[in-house]
Amino acid sequence: MSLAFASIKHKKRLTLLLVCAMLGFVVVIGRLFYVQIIKGDYYEELAYKQQTKDRTVEASRGTIYDSAGNILAISVSSNTLTIAPTNIPDENKASIAEEFAKILEMDADSILAKLNKKVSLVTIASNIEKEKAVKLSSYISQNEIKGAYLDESTTRAYPYGALLSHVLGFTGVDNQGLSGLEIEYEDELSGIPGKIVGSIDGGGNETPYDEEEYVEPQNGYDLVLTIDATVQSIVEKNIEKAVIENKADFGNCVIMNPFTGEILAMATYPDYDPNSPFEATNEEVVANWDEMTSSERNKYLNEMWRNKCVQDTYEPGSIFKVVTASAALEEGVSDADTKQYNCSSYMTVLGWDIKCWRYPRAHGTQCLREGIINSCNPVLMQVALKLGIRDFCKYLEALDLYSVTGIDLPGEASAQAYTPKNMTDLDLATTSFGQNISTTTLQNAVIYAAIANGGNLMQPYIVKEIKTPDGNIVKSNQPVIKKQVFSEETTEDMMSMLYDTVNTGTSKAAQATGYTIAGKTGTAEEDRTGDVYMASFAGVAPYNDPEIVIVVSIYNPTSSAGHMGGIVAAPVAGTIIEETLRYMDVDPNYSIEENTKEEMIVPNLIGMAYSKAKEELQKLNFKIASDVSLEADTIIKDQVPKAGASLTKGAYVRVYEDETKEKLTVTVPDVRGNSESYATSRIRNSGLNIRVIGSGNAVIQYPSAGETVTKGSIITVKFADTTDLH
């Protein structure tokens, strides 16, 4: 090989090496540019995370208030214990786990497992009570445990327990909303967490002389509801009574302001306590809890949490007849008072015989008003067939029954109804009286609100205001009229019919002392076996100047009182209306007929000698009673009933020589469905007194049958003419 050739070859190698070196340099420069410039923020954040440890500082979840300012849900201070496992020597972990377990009442092995994790930070326990937090803090300080942090956190509390539980919902262990308003308004209530930032070395240990940085949390917004806690408690008390007394599966109730759409009360019973939402409330379920599968438990809990007023639909039955009647009036195919319909106790449509509820007794010739008063199915079927499928469905759509109301609650269901495309005349006939259509309790309330307010379909809502923690209003919800469905003339006629229905028709048992009521009962057959019914009442009060709309539904009543809406739901609704309007300071304008027997005021006997007390009672045609034999000069120290109560002649007043001695008790008998004379005899023979309201047969009593009360207590019984109640 020549020297020249070798020189050329050597130069090529040098050139190749130089090119490779330059390419490598370009790659390195490019990589540095990519890392430092393009991905600089990413790696800076990654390095920051590797060199720091964050401890979350929870934001305080917003408070939920009722319309009167009562606190329904609030976040209360608690503590969270976190550990940096790498800061704990392995030989100390078992003893620390044991001590933490004793203080926290937890399993030591589960704590030890957390201490052995290869992570920078682990949560040992949250929502730690103050007393336990003090003990933990003392133990951590005395033993100089590095990497153990006891930070303030919050836990959710519901001061009224089960009140409004299905509406409020509840939060999980991480304070995140899981149901009800808590999940619907999660973004507004939750706030933004803060953090405590400190630095660590490569081994995950705290660096010396480190100063922690505190990033303050932003607390959540507060909610002010349209719900009034007092009205809610009135509703819940009476719905619970109705469910228990009628041996029903459950009960629903909605009270609404017909002119604003504000929900004043919304209740489902059985309820649950959102302070402990994972605890079963059904006694049978509690007894079998350990044997149930996780799937069975979850199914039960989800059912327990459901707000059945908005999440479930049912056949409304005869309370739906107002839709058919109002549509007919609006379209001019019928008036209120022309006798143009006939009831022969059934009606044949497309070969199907559809019975009136009073079958085989016929109502005969009637006008639309009488059809509503008597809740006559054939009248409403004839009206609907005159109206026709297209126009009938036009009002289903106008009332938003093909969609949802849009209330600010999660999981709302829409009605299940025929459309013009799939409805036959047979479907039209059955839908006209509330069969083969399913609605929610809330939708029924919205319908009756439109009847009460002159025909406007209102947007229902349950949150009135959203506010900052210092009280500044972020958002204020105002009444929204979605559309006008009926004319004022139509609704005036309809309200008049509903007033007559309560005054003289199938809804007489809804009458309330002090207030006029317009309304309609319903008895819906929820399955075609005839075994399961929904007893309902929907109404407006007072009739002449509406303040509230109410819908009460009791599902599957199985007691001896029966399943008719006029017997089961109407009396409960009347009681709720009376108590609610009195609380709202609405002036009474009406009085149902009370008993004709003269009532006298019970005198104050305390301090009198027994003989004198007996003499005073005899003057008023009362009798004296005692659990033990008393001498003539024995001084009376207590009495039942108390002075000031009203009793009819022949009633007993029980007296006691020792106010501290435990009094005898008795079980309240069930007198519903019986005459006044029988009820009076039964109650008095039980050692109790009776106060009679109305006349006819007993439809509701307070206290309820089966309750235990002091002997001599007064049982108030409401009577009504139960002839043809439906």
pLDDT at 197: 65
In CATH terms, are 54-222 and 599-720 the same topology?
no
C-beta atoms surrounding 299 within 10 Å: 12
397 CB-near residues (< 8 Å, 6+ apart)? none
Domain boundaries, the chain: 3-38, 54-222, 317-583, 599-720
pLDDT at 511: 92
User: Which residues are paired to 241 by β-bridges?
Assistant: none
Biggest CA–CA distance in the chain, Å, is: 152
Three-state secondary-structure class, residue 22:
helix
Handedness of CA 238, 239, 244, 248 (dihedral sign): positive
Provide the CATH number for the domain formed by 599-720 in this structure: 3.30.10.20
Q: What is the DSSP letter of 38?
A: I
pLDDT at 40: 56
Q: What is the pLDDT of residues 87-118, one digit of tens each?
A: 888 888 899 989 999 999 999 898 989 888 88
User: Which residues are paired to 647 by β-bridges?
Assistant: 600
Three-state secondary-structure class, residue 474:
strand
Domain 54-222 listed as CATH 3.40.50.1390: no
The ranges of the chain with pLDDT < 50 are 3, 5, 43, 46-52, 201-204, 208-209
Q: Which CATH superfamily is domain 317-583 in?
A: DD-peptidase/beta-lactamase superfamily (3.40.710.10)
Q: Helix-strand-coil percent breakdown of the chain, rounded to 5?
A: 35, 25, 40
| H-only helix segments in 432-569 | 441-452, 488-504, 565-568
Residue appearing with tokens 């209003």: 473
SS (H, E, C) 363-411: CEEECHHHHHHCCCHHHHHHHHHHHCHHHHHHHHHHCCCCCCCCCCCCC
Specify the amino acid at residue 613.
A
Q: What does DSSP say about strands 623-625 and 533-541: parallel, antiparallel, or unpaired?
A: unpaired
pLDDT at 52: 46
Token pair in block for residue 555: 């599902």
Q: What is the pLDDT of residues 35-55, one digit of tens each?
A: 566 655 654 554 444 444 566
pLDDT at 26: 63
Q: What is the DSSP letter of 654?
A: E
In contact, 185 and 223? CB cutoff 8 Å: yes
pLDDT at 82: 86
Residue 492: HSE in the Cβ half-sphere, 13 Å Cα cutoff? 3
DSSP string, 122-178: EEEEEEE-HHHHHHHHHHHHHTT-TTEEEEEEEEEE-TTTTTTHHHH--B-TTS-B-
In contact, 577 and 590? CB cutoff 8 Å: no
115 CB-near residues (< 8 Å, 6+ apart)? 83, 85, 88, 93, 96, 97, 122
pLDDT at 244: 94
In contact, 262 and 254? CB cutoff 8 Å: no
In contact, 559 and 247? CB cutoff 8 Å: yes
